[in-house]
Amino acid sequence: MQSVEPSPAVRAASHQRTLALAWATLLSFFLLFLGLVSWAALALYDVYQTATRPEGGTLIVRGPVEWVAWRPVDRNLYQAATNDQTLAEGDAIRTATSAGYGQVASISLFEQSQLDLWAGAEVAFETLQTSRWHSGTLVIATRQRAGYVRYDIKANQPYSHVSFTVRVGDAVVRLAPGGSYSLDLRQPGRVVERLDGGNALEADVAVRTGSAVVVGANGATVEIRERQRVLIDPAGLPGLTVPARWDLIHDGGFSQYSELEYNNTTLKDPTIVQSQYWKVYSGPDLPAENRGFFGLVGICRPPIVAASCPMANRRTAAMFSRGSGQTSSFTVGIKQELGSDGAGIDISEYRSLKFTLWARVLRQSLKDAGDRGSECPVTIRLVAKRNSPADPEEQRDVCVYVDADKTPPTVTEAGITYNSVNAAEWTEVSFDLRAAQWLPDYRYLRRIQIFAQGHDYESRVAEVSLVGEQ
């Protein structure tokens, strides 16, 4: 049987196919090689770009060390802290609620930002990282669980991307470098019960300098600029931006309770409805016909003295009254224990504390401030402590009186500032507690009192406020 040799054309075609397959195989392996090399290069570049290293900070204790506790990253319980100890990613710091007023501890971070913690604060460091091989990224993330903390973020960071965030509940606050911010976690006005038996907290976020962005639990964002603040409710939802001002007095318009409910505060009966803010007091113990009394009266918005005005201008004033030709001194007044628990408030963070009220004296039987220099138809008393709970209480008084002869009071008393007014006219009394003669460096404000003292008098006060600004 004879074999048939392929023709030259067939052999040439077969040779071409073999050669093409060889080149295709070589090209495929070459492309695969290039792909592997590219993948490896990209992987190395990604590692170069994203690899991070943990950083830390230094704890500064500004008082007795027992005020500050530390929880290491791998522990569940807090333990004693030491001054100048190093903090690492995952650590947490807590300050005692009984620590006093002002800064209890500070944390100086590796990149020179600083956190200042007040009494009752708790902060955990979730992330403290920088890029491992270059200066491209700085990421700092904290979680604030309680209390008041001020964040001063360093400006001009040497990183191309800086992220500084604070988690509060289900919300996140992004802080811009170079700014100063305050975050206060506290009980809301209306306490919300949680399934774990605790009380949810609201967060008060304020910008002293710089800018911040609040990202709510629902993804909504709110930008806060310099001298603005935002409340984050217990559900993690931010409200509207408002000026960074805090009115530290409740019910300054005397509109939240009736006259009877204010006067019920003189009774030791917890079952009756009474004011939760202003408490009425008087003394000494005299027969009913010789006593003064506290009341409410409808007025037109000061300085209007007319009896009638549109409803939009109607206000309520507190009234102190005593008559019938009395010849001995008697005091009737109201007082407000400041703070959510009535134990006072830390005022160390406020650079301005402006107290304001409108006063009107309709009648006073004693001349000027009386024979004692303290029998005034309106007295404003501030009770404060300078540095710590162990300090004694100090007071500052303002005497508001009618100056009939336009001369200073004949008798004065140390510690009282005298403010003369015209009879029956509304006068705005306003002063900044940070002024030298008031409480320039005091850290704690305990109580506000407003009272009348003397023989016969009738006076009114309205629109009381104490506005703090950082």
Q: What is residue 395's predicted lDDT score, i.e. its pLDDT?
A: 95
What is the distance between the alpha carbons of residues 427 and 417, in angstroms, rounded to a whole number? 16
Domain boundaries, position 77: 52-244
Token pair listed for 160: 């191309």
Dihedral pair phi/psi, residue 437, rounded to 5°: -85, 0
Specify whether 105 is located in the same domain as 235.
yes
Contact 391, 385 (CB under 8 A): yes
Specify whether 108 is located in the same domain as 234.
yes
Specify whether 225 is located in the same domain as 302.
no
User: 249 in a domain, yes or no?
Assistant: no
For residue 62, give Cα distances in angstroms to 87, 93, 116: 16, 14, 10
Q: What is residue 54's predicted lDDT score, i.e. its pLDDT?
A: 52
User: 254 in a domain, yes or no?
Assistant: no
The one-letter code for the residue type at 415 is G
Q: What is residue 52's predicted lDDT score, i.e. its pLDDT?
A: 47
Specify whether 340 is located in the same domain as 204.
no
What is the distance between the alpha carbons of residues 285 and 449, in angstroms, rounded to a whole number? 19
Contacts of 375 (CB under 8 A, 6+ apart): 329, 366, 369, 453, 454, 455
What is the distance between the alpha carbons of residues 3 and 230, in angstroms, rounded to a whole number? 97
Cα–Cα nearest to 428, from 436, 437, 419: 419
pLDDT in tens, 319-363: 999 999 999 999 999 999 998 777 789 999 999 999 999 999 999
Contact 79, 69 (CB under 8 A): yes
Q: What are residue 232's DSSP bridge partners?
A: 203, 238
Q: For residues 370 and 10, which has the higher predicted lDDT (pLDDT)?
A: 370
Q: Which of 194, 219, 244 is the last residue of a domain?
A: 244
Q: Which of 217, 244, 271 is the last residue of a domain?
A: 244
User: 265 in a domain, yes or no?
Assistant: yes
Dihedral pair phi/psi, residue 417, rounded to 5°: -100, 130
Specify whether 45 is located in the same domain as 86.
no
Domain with 460 in it: what CATH number? 2.60.120.260
What is the distance between the alpha carbons of residues 319 and 460, in angstroms, rounded to a whole number? 4
pLDDT in tens, 250-293: 999 999 999 999 999 999 898 999 999 999 999 999 999 999 99
Contacts of 367 (CB under 8 A, 6+ apart): 404, 410
User: pTM of the prediction?
Assistant: 0.82
Is the pLDDT reported for residue 39 higher than 90? no
Task: Tell me the mean pLDDT in the region 210-237.
Answer: 95
User: 421 in a domain, yes or no?
Assistant: yes
- Neighbouring C-alpha atoms within 13 Å toward the C-beta of 437: 8
Look-up: residue for tokens 């004011």?
275
Task: Produce one character per residue of 441-450: b if its CB has 16 or more CB atoms within 10 Å, e if not.
Answer: ebbbbbbbbb
Look-up: residue for tokens 């019938």?
324
Token pair listed for 145: 């669980």
Give percent above pLDDT 70 in the chain.
91
Q: Quickly state the pLDDT bin for 46 (edges 50, 70, 90).
A: low
Specify whether 240 is located in the same domain as 290.
no
What is the distance between the alpha carbons of residues 165 and 287, in angstroms, rounded to a whole number? 63
Domain count, the chain: 3
What is the distance between the alpha carbons of residues 206 and 211, in angstroms, rounded to a whole number? 9
Q: What is residue 198's predicted lDDT score, i.e. its pLDDT?
A: 44
Specify whether 214 is located in the same domain as 351.
no
Q: What is residue 329's predicted lDDT score, i.e. its pLDDT?
A: 96
Contact 373, 401 (CB under 8 A): no
* Residue ranges of E strands in 101-157: 103-109, 114-118, 122-131, 137-152
pLDDT in tens, 114-150: 999 999 999 999 988 876 554 568 899 999 999 999 9
User: 402 in a domain, yes or no?
Assistant: yes
User: 2 in a domain, yes or no?
Assistant: no
User: 253 in a domain, yes or no?
Assistant: no
Cα–Cα nearest to 141, from 167, 121, 118, 176: 167
Q: What is residue 442's predicted lDDT score, i.e. its pLDDT?
A: 94
Q: What is residue 100's predicted lDDT score, i.e. its pLDDT?
A: 81
Token pair listed for 342: 């009535």
**Which letter does DSSP use for residue 290 in this model?**
G
The one-letter code for the residue type at 82 is T
Give percent above pLDDT 90 in the chain.
69
pLDDT in tens, 147-183: 999 999 999 888 888 899 999 999 999 999 999 999 9
Is the pLDDT reported for residue 37 higher than 80? no
Q: What is residue 134's predicted lDDT score, i.e. its pLDDT?
A: 47
Specify whether 323 is located in the same domain as 274.
yes
The one-letter code for the residue type at 467 is V
Token pair listed for 323: 């008559």
Look-up: residue for tokens 């590219």?
38
Q: What is the mean pLDDT of the chain?
A: 89
Specify whether 214 is located in the same domain as 341.
no
User: 202 in a domain, yes or no?
Assistant: yes
pLDDT in tens, 298-308: 999 999 999 89
Specify whether 295 is located in the same domain as 238.
no
**Which letter does DSSP use for residue 35 in this model?**
H
Is the pLDDT reported for residue 25 higher than 50? yes
pLDDT in tens, 238-249: 999 999 999 999
Specify whether 200 is located in the same domain as 230.
yes
Cα–Cα nearest to 464, from 243, 246, 249: 249
Specify whether 142 is located in the same domain as 171.
yes
Contact 415, 306 (CB under 8 A): no
Q: Is 32 helix (H, G, I), strand (E, B) or coil?
A: helix
Domain with 178 in it: what CATH number? 2.60.120.1440
